Chains A and B, each alone.
Chain A
Amino acid sequence: MATTATAVPRRWRLPYRLQVDRRLEAPRWLSPLVSLGAILVALLLGAVILEIVGGDAVAAYAHIGRAAFGNLGVFSDTLVKATPLILVGLACAVAFQMKLWNIGAEGQFFMGALGASVVVLAPIVPIEAPRWVTIPAMLVAGMAFGALWGAIPGLLKATLRVNEVITTLMLNYVAISLVNFFVFAVWSEGGFQMSPTFQRAAWLPRLADYASQVPLFRGLTTHLGLAFALVAAGVVWYILYRSLWGFEIRLVGDNPRAAHYAGVNIVRNTVLVMMLSGALAGLAGMSEISGVVHRLQTSISPGYGFTGIIIAWLAKLNPLVVAPVSVLFGGLILAGREIQPAGVPRLIQGIILFTLIASEVLLRYRVRLVRVDAEPA
């Protein structure tokens, strides 16, 4: 293994130098520790930038902590924000496991919202239909629309080797334009950029709906979508780590050539994984309009699809870790809305992703400070 020395000036010598060695295997406890360190460094860098532009970093972070986790009410709002994040985080994680760079979760989210809206507004399910008919129909439609939107880049990648990074990203813009068309031209209510409010049967039940039985639930906005997200996390974990299909997905991600020789059908898996990924993001869109917005409108996402990428990476693509990480980012998005300047949450997310991938070098290399004169010559 190569041993290289850096940071050694030619003439004037520091008493210490950095010694960098390749690791054969990183200890299990190191990875979460390094991730935690990366987040701390990111928050520190974010604070420095905030101070440079004249903001008050301490106050901003304290505000995020209070406004996201301060009491049961705001924590419930944080969970509402975390719900779509869990689902898009899973969508990204499952695709990234196969090294399929689906960065179109945002568009698949919008398509899922559109699919669920078609069920209510077309209408496919009559207005008088009970909730146990309407909600499952919206669920299926939302996932189907998302899966369709994921299948397009999947097919292009599998058959024509078209770079999925760009196709998924381009389809984001297309999906948003399509939703805008329906919002403005087809379902606009009185010329406003929103559809009429859905009937109550199309709303996911909230904790607050049960306040008469459980007084503690009064005013809590957390809705059934959170249960969908947690179930999805379990299902995706089972698929990835306990099923043959998941083994194939991970094998293709690690070593496509070996997977090919092992007889894994890469074309079919590419399309299926993109569809699964799209369906999860579509479910996020459905859950958001059915559980929170209760109508279709243009501004239903503060970039959930993109935050999902960071969440998936921070969770090391592990579906079970996606959920707690999403709660943290849900808090950041919730509390970040009130922080000026407006780009701060985005900036912090960017810095976190950067320090995170940079820190991974510590898992591959051991970096030590050694005394120069203490070394054998």
Chain B
Amino acid sequence: MDPIIILQAGVASGTVLLFATIGEIITERSGVMNLGLEGMMLIGAMSAFGVTVTTGNGFLGLLVAMLVAGLLALLHGVVTIHFQADQVVSGLALTFLGTGLSLVFGEGLNKAGAISLLPVQSVPVLSAIPILGPIFFTNHSIMVYVGYLLVPAVWAYIHFTRPGLHLRAVGENPTAADAMGLNVYRLRYLYVFVGGTLAGLAGGTISLAISPGWFSELTTSGQGWIAIGLVIFAQWDPWRAAFGAYTFGALRRMILDIQGPQALLGLRNPFFFNPYLGFFLQMLPYLFTIVVLIIGSREALRKRLGAPAALGLPYIRGERGA
């Protein structure tokens, strides 16, 4: 129960949630909600692992994972953007499809032997900082550092660049964006694809770095849905998403570690003496997601902030919109 270790591991496993959450933020900012994260992450995890097993190249694995998950997301794009299907139902369909595809194509992958994982690195100077160094900059998979770079990059892209302005425009008011001369359909397809690739990256990060291997549906165990909850908690802001993702990562690690010691804060540790109480610990991430959602919703009501105005609505050119 060393807090530094818990936080260090929390940053590592939170990186998975971070990629998925940021991807969904980008997609939702463009006005499309994609509830298929779980399916895209699973197919990403499966294809990253499968490609790495056959080629021995982890980076190729990640690339394929991003591409496959991105293509799957485009399917959601076609159905919701052009066919105007309900985004909730299409997202659920994507979850089923992604899960089914990864189970079928991943058959037998769980028996694959050890593979070379993505490299682990410490950052030379920064790792010497007390407390922060060991937590953020020591012995992390390079994907963790990619996460550090992604957060400010996406934040700056959304708020300070012209394409970022266009992204927000098609999500807030597609009719006006169209009148400005933006191609609403093309931009939405683009950002649905980008969100998919990040979900694939999240899946690949699980199977190649954070908890290596392919364990069918247990590989993601609902993290895609937790990420969707985090998007609402984050109020579609990358910095808050990072905070939420790392906190959740730490929580997941704490649940494992809390069952170890005999004494907790000087008292008998009930989780050590009755391992069945672990079932209640397993509920915590999911209960915590609900709490986080309640916090996010209350804040949205109070500040009158919230989801992109056109989120979930199909845009039909030439018809009066919302």
Smallest CB–CB gap between B204 and chain A, Å?
Answer: 19
Task: Evaluate contact between A162 and B276: CB separation under 8 angstroms.
Answer: no
A184-B95 Cα distance, complex, nearest whole Å: 30
**Cβ–Cβ < 8 Å partners of A343 in chain B:** 99-104, 106-107
Smallest CB–CB gap between B270 and chain A, Å?
Answer: 13
Q: Given that A162-B297, A169-B225, A361-B85 are contacting pairs, would A2 and B104 also be in contact in the complex, using a CB cutoff of 8 Å?
A: no
Q: Is A349 an interface residue (CB 8 A)?
A: yes
Q: Is B305 an interface residue (CB 8 A)?
A: no
Q: Given that A101-B88, A341-B104, A358-B79 are contacting pairs, would A163 and B232 also be in contact in the complex, using a CB cutoff of 8 Å?
A: yes
Contact with A along B215-239 (1 / 0, CB 8 A): 0000000100110110010000000
**Residue from the list B75, B103, B290 in contact with A167, Cβ < 8 A:** B290
A360-B99 Cα distance, complex, nearest whole Å: 23
Smallest CB–CB gap between B182 and chain A, Å?
Answer: 18
Q: Given that A185-B276, A346-B103 are contacting pairs, would A310 and B96 also be in contact in the complex, using a CB cutoff of 8 Å?
A: yes
Task: Evaluate contact between B319 and A346: CB separation under 8 angstroms.
Answer: no
Q: Is B26 an interface residue (CB 8 A)?
A: no
**Which of B115-123, B132-140, B164-172, B279-287 contacts the other chain?**
B279-287
Smallest CB–CB gap between A363 and chain B, Å?
Answer: 11
Q: Is B97 an interface residue (CB 8 A)?
A: yes
**Cβ–Cβ < 8 Å partners of B85 in chain A:** 357-358, 360-361
Q: Which of A27-81 contact B (CB under 8 A)?
A: 49-50, 53
Smallest CB–CB gap between A344 and chain B, Å?
Answer: 6
A184-B279 Cα distance, complex, nearest whole Å: 10
The count of A-to-B residue pairs whose CB atoms sit within 8 angstroms is: 151
Q: Is A171 an interface residue (CB 8 A)?
A: yes
Task: Evaluate contact between B287 and A170: CB separation under 8 angstroms.
Answer: yes
Q: Is A139 an interface residue (CB 8 A)?
A: no
A350-B317 Cα distance, complex, nearest whole Å: 30
Task: Evaluate contact between B79 and A2: CB separation under 8 angstroms.
Answer: no
Q: Given that A340-B107, A347-B100 are contacting pairs, would A2 and B294 also be in contact in the complex, using a CB cutoff of 8 Å?
A: no
Task: Evaluate contact between A174 and B287: CB separation under 8 angstroms.
Answer: yes
A349-B317 Cα distance, complex, nearest whole Å: 32
Task: Evaluate contact between A354 and B75: CB separation under 8 angstroms.
Answer: yes
Task: Evaluate contact between B79 and A160: CB separation under 8 angstroms.
Answer: no
Task: Evaluate contact between A165 and B88: CB separation under 8 angstroms.
Answer: yes
**Cβ–Cβ < 8 Å partners of A348 in chain B:** 100
**Cβ–Cβ < 8 Å partners of B228 in chain A:** 165-166
Q: Is A173 an interface residue (CB 8 A)?
A: yes
Task: Evaluate contact between B279 and A342: CB separation under 8 angstroms.
Answer: no
A49-B318 Cα distance, complex, nearest whole Å: 39
Q: Given that A166-B225, A357-B85 are contacting pairs, would A349 and B79 also be in contact in the complex, using a CB cutoff of 8 Å?
A: no
A181-B98 Cα distance, complex, nearest whole Å: 30
**Residue from the list B84, B286, B319 in contact with A361, Cβ < 8 A:** B84
Prevailing SS type, chain B contact patch: helix
Task: Evaluate contact between A181 and B280: CB separation under 8 angstroms.
Answer: yes
Q: Is B35 an interface residue (CB 8 A)?
A: yes
Smallest CB–CB gap between B20 and chain A, Å?
Answer: 14
**Cβ–Cβ < 8 Å partners of A156 in chain B:** 290, 293-294
Number of B residues near A (Cβ < 8 Å) is 55
Q: Which of B89-113 contact A (CB under 8 A)?
A: 89-90, 92-107
Task: Evaluate contact between A357 and B79: CB separation under 8 angstroms.
Answer: yes
Most buried by A among B84, B93, B300, B319: B93
**Cβ–Cβ < 8 Å partners of B83 in chain A:** 357-358, 360-361
Most buried by A among B90, B96, B105, B318: B96
**Cβ–Cβ < 8 Å partners of A217 in chain B:** none
Q: Is A161 an interface residue (CB 8 A)?
A: yes
Residue of B whose beta carbon sits closest to that of A346: B100
**Cβ–Cβ < 8 Å partners of B94 in chain A:** 350, 354
Q: Is A351 an interface residue (CB 8 A)?
A: yes
Q: Given that A49-B101, A347-B101 are contacting pairs, would A357 and B90 also be in contact in the complex, using a CB cutoff of 8 Å?
A: yes
Contact with B along A173-204 (1 / 0, CB 8 A): 11001101100110000000000000000000
**Residue from the list A178, A341, A353, A358 in contact with B107, Cβ < 8 A:** A341
A351-B93 Cα distance, complex, nearest whole Å: 7
User: Can you spell out 11 A-B residue pairs with CB atoms less than 8 angstroms apart?
Assistant: A160-B294, A170-B287, A184-B276, A342-B107, A344-B100, A350-B39, A350-B93, A353-B89, A357-B90, A361-B82, A361-B83
**Contact surface of A with B, Cβ cutoff 8 Å:** 2, 4, 49-50, 53, 101, 103, 156, 160-163, 165-167, 169-171, 173-174, 177-178, 180-181, 184-185, 306, 309-310, 313, 340-344, 346-351, 353-354, 357-358, 360-361, 364
Beyond contacts A165-B35, A350-B101: 16 other A-B pairs, Cβ-Cβ < 8 A, are A53-B107, A161-B301, A166-B232, A166-B290, A173-B283, A177-B279, A177-B280, A313-B89, A344-B100, A344-B104, A349-B100, A354-B75, A357-B90, A358-B78, A358-B85, A360-B85
**Contact surface of B with A, Cβ cutoff 8 Å:** 35, 39, 75, 78-79, 82-86, 88-90, 92-107, 222, 225-226, 228-229, 232, 274, 276, 279-280, 282-283, 286-287, 289-290, 293-294, 297-298, 300-301, 316-319
